[in-house]
Structure 1
Amino acid sequence: MASQAQPLNIIILGGGIAGLTTALSLTKYTPANTPPPNITIYEIRPLPATIGGAVNLTPNALRLLNHLGALQEIRANHYGKECLAVEVFDLYSGSKLAESSFRGDEGKGLGDPPFTALRITRGEALKGVLAVIEKQPNINLVFGKRTVDIKEFSKGVEISFEDGDIAKGDILIGCDGIHSVTRLKHVEPDRKAVYSGICNAFGFAPRRKCDDGRYEDVHFETTAMNFGRRGILLTSFHNEDKDFVYVGALMQIPEIVSRDGWKAAGADAENVRKDMLERYAGAKLDLIPHLIQDAQDLFLWPVFTLSKYGKWCTDRVMLIGDSAHAMPPQGESTGMVFEDAVLFSRCLARWLEKGNGTPVREAFNAYENLRRERIETAWDESQSVVKTVQETGWFGHKIKMNIIPWYLWWTRAYREKHFIDDVTACGLGY
Structure 2
Amino acid sequence: MAPASPDGLNIIILGGGIAGLTTALALTKFAPAGKVPNIQIFEIRPTPATIGGAVNLTPNALRLLDHLGALSIMKEREFGRTIDFLEVFDVYSGKLAESDFSGADGKGIGDPPYKALRITRGDALKAVLAAVEKQENITMTCGKRTTTIEETADKVTLTFEDGGSASGELLMGCDGIHSATRLKHVEPERKAVYSGVSNAFGFAKGLPKDFQVHFECTAINFARRGMLLTSYFSNDTSQVYVGGLMQVEDIGSRDGWKSVGADADKTRANLLDRFGDAKIPCIVPLIEKAEDFYLWPVFTLSKQGKWSTDRVMLLGDAAHAMPPQGESTGIVFEDTVLFSRCLTRWIEKGRPNSMKEAFEAYEKLRRKRIEDAFEESKDVVRTVSDAGWVGHTIKTYVVPWFLWWTRANREKHFIEDVTTVDIGY
* Shorter-chain TM band: over 0.9
Residue by residue, what CA displacement relative to the aligned partner does 1:339-398 show, whole Å, maximum 9, x if unpaired? 000000001111111105421111111100100010011111110001001111111111
1:247 aligns with 2:234: no
Q: Which residue of 2 aligns with 1:12?
A: 13
Q: Which residue of 2 aligns with 1:121?
A: 120
Q: Which residue of 2 aligns with 1:29?
A: 30
Residue by residue, what CA displacement relative to the aligned partner does 1:70-89 show, whole Å, maximum 9, x if unpaired? 00000000000001111000
SS in 1 for 2:254: coil
Contact residue 89 and residue 95 of structure 2 kept, 8 A: yes
Q: Which residue of 2 aligns with 1:38?
A: 38
Q: Which runs of 5+ in 2 are unaligned?
A: none
In percent, how many aligned pairs have the same letter? 63
- C-alpha distance in structure 1 between counterparts of 2:258 and 2:74, whole Å: 27
1:326 aligns with 2:321: yes
- Counterpart of 1:151 in structure 2: which amino acid? E
Q: Which residue of 1 aligns with 2:223?
A: 228
Contact residue 224 and residue 389 of structure 2 kept, 8 A: yes
Residue by residue, what CA displacement relative to the aligned partner does 1:390-419 show, whole Å, maximum 9, x if unpaired? 111111111110111111111111111111
Q: Which residue of 2 aligns with 1:84?
A: 84
Q: Which residue of 2 aligns with 1:301?
A: 296
SS in 2 for 1:89: strand
Q: Which residue of 2 aligns with 1:216?
A: 211
TM-score normalized with structure 1 length? 0.95
**Distance change >3 Å, CA 119–CA 258, structure 1 → 2:** farther
Residue by residue, what CA displacement relative to the aligned partner does 1:247-272 show, whole Å, maximum 9, x if unpaired? 00000001237638648688x32111
1:176 aligns with 2:175: yes
Q: Which residue of 2 aligns with 1:400?
A: 395
Q: Which residue of 2 aligns with 1:288?
A: 283
Using the TM superposition, give the Cα deviation of residue 207 of structure 1 relative to its aligned residue in structure 2, in angstroms: 4.8
- Counterpart of 2:95 in structure 1: which amino acid? K
- Counterpart of 1:37 in structure 2: which amino acid? P
Task: Identify the range of structure 1 (248-257 vs 361-370) with the bigger mean alpha-carbon deviation.
Answer: 248-257
Large movers: runs of 4+ above 6 Å: 263-266
- C-alpha distance in structure 2 between counterparts of 1:135 and 1:146, whole Å: 26
Contact residue 263 and residue 299 of structure 1 kept, 8 A: no
1:162 aligns with 2:158: no
- C-alpha distance in structure 1 between counterparts of 2:398 and 2:360, whole Å: 40
Tell me how many residue pairs correspond in the alignment.
420
- C-alpha distance in structure 1 between counterparts of 2:377 and 2:42, whole Å: 30
- C-alpha distance in structure 2 between counterparts of 1:312 and 1:230, whole Å: 35
TM alignment of 1:68-79, pairs within 5 A: 68-79=68-79
TM-score normalized with structure 2 length? 0.96
SS in 2 for 1:411: helix
- C-alpha distance in structure 2 between counterparts of 1:322 and 1:196, whole Å: 14
Q: Which residue of 1 aligns with 2:364?
A: 369
SS in 1 for 2:343: helix
Contact residue 207 and residue 239 of structure 2 kept, 8 A: no
Using the TM superposition, give the Cα deviation of residue 51 of structure 1 relative to its aligned residue in structure 2, in angstroms: 2.1
- Counterpart of 2:50 in structure 1: which amino acid? T
Residue by residue, what CA displacement relative to the aligned partner does 1:90-110 show, whole Å, maximum 9, x if unpaired? 1012x1110111111111111
- Counterpart of 1:294 in structure 2: which amino acid? K
- C-alpha distance in structure 2 between counterparts of 1:368 and 1:285, whole Å: 46
- Counterpart of 1:28 in structure 2: which amino acid? K
**Distance change >3 Å, CA 257–CA 403, structure 1 → 2:** same
- C-alpha distance in structure 2 between counterparts of 1:400 and 1:79, whole Å: 34
Q: Which runs of 5+ in 1 are unaligned?
A: none
Q: Which residue of 1 aligns with 2:379?
A: 384
- C-alpha distance in structure 2 between counterparts of 1:333 and 1:59, whole Å: 13
- Counterpart of 1:131 in structure 2: which amino acid? A
1:205 aligns with 2:194: no
Give the root-mean-square deviation of aligned CA atoms: 1.4
